[in-house]
Structure 1
């Protein structure tokens, strides 16, 4: 059930026929793991909390640095030096006290990552390195948990949804394979703040669609964002039946 406070708080999205009361209840019962509370994770966490997602599991082992504040809008100047999870929890609790916040302050190894993924309904990958993305993808495939993946660097962003429950859905490894250890990070290549805000906001939107069951999630499609020209492109992505990660999975 939704309380009177919740009905008022979420009234603008409850008005949407695609969400309504039933969809809002699904959001309230939803559990989401956000991996990384930086430039992408900031808008994801803020919008999911504001929208009334019932449980947010927040994973980040880093502390807030002054260089983060140009784009990581969940943190502020007084939080510099504080654990990102603690900084984010304070902000999210102030935004919506109805949301349960579950902190994961340590780096996730294979076992803890598997447990963290199995405990939620959707995983949102907001990290900034290929090794973590690959590990998160493998854990999602193993658990059958949808993954909302986003990335942004310099003036380019991308977004995709990988859903192991869908027999036609590729996984992250289908698209990127083994990747490269030479991949640059934002600290090396730079990034403009509103771009990560845009990609993170789209990740939050895709997560709400998966939880509430409306719209067409970005499954089998890769959305590319060119911030320099303000253009969007979409590429179709097929599942690789020989994929080393998801090739052997069976979906009823």
Structure 2
């Protein structure tokens, strides 16, 4: 896999704080992967996301995105490669209609009008929001708003999308709709996705996970490897996916499986098989 982002020995602290928000962080991100960065509040995950987008610069160490080393001279080149979807979609709306909102970033990038119209329609269709073209954003549901925010980013055709707690304000249905949309776009365009989250059920869907604690990388690995550290995660103020907790409880009642269920459908399938064989 091609390395797309390299973070080497990065430390950072805010002006009014003595403690480091990030401390000697080393991290690689590869083209086409979904990386989930998890941690409790204050672990440094949102600071790291902002640094990747050039909103912060490291106090020490280096950040490289593609061919660009992060600096004041290269920050706009790096931002052209990265799109960010934030926690509250209302903070990203600037247009009076869905169409205007998606077109806003394209206008700022000087995209020709005919190409802009095509990209707006295509990106809204990709997130199943094409029929809401002339709708006012404040009339949309939370999940619909977040899908429009994603369309605004997708229209810019970035190499990387960062989801900064992008599903935390949504109900379970809206959360699954947004994650499904991102996953489909990722596969279609070989997009690289970085999900900043404290929701470990969301992180379980990623290709790889990084756990941050007090500004440092605590653990890195595949979701199934990370979730073996169940007690450690709980001690860090995190949780484990509901499917793991349910399977553990069912095991006490005769459901004998050594699998670690990260996907709800897998657990349901095995429970049905277990029921038929009883």
Question: Considering the TM-score relative to the shorter chain, is it more than 0.5?
Answer: no
Bigger RCO of structures 1 and 2 (CA < 8 A, at least 6 apart) = 2
The structure with the largest alpha-carbon Rg is 2
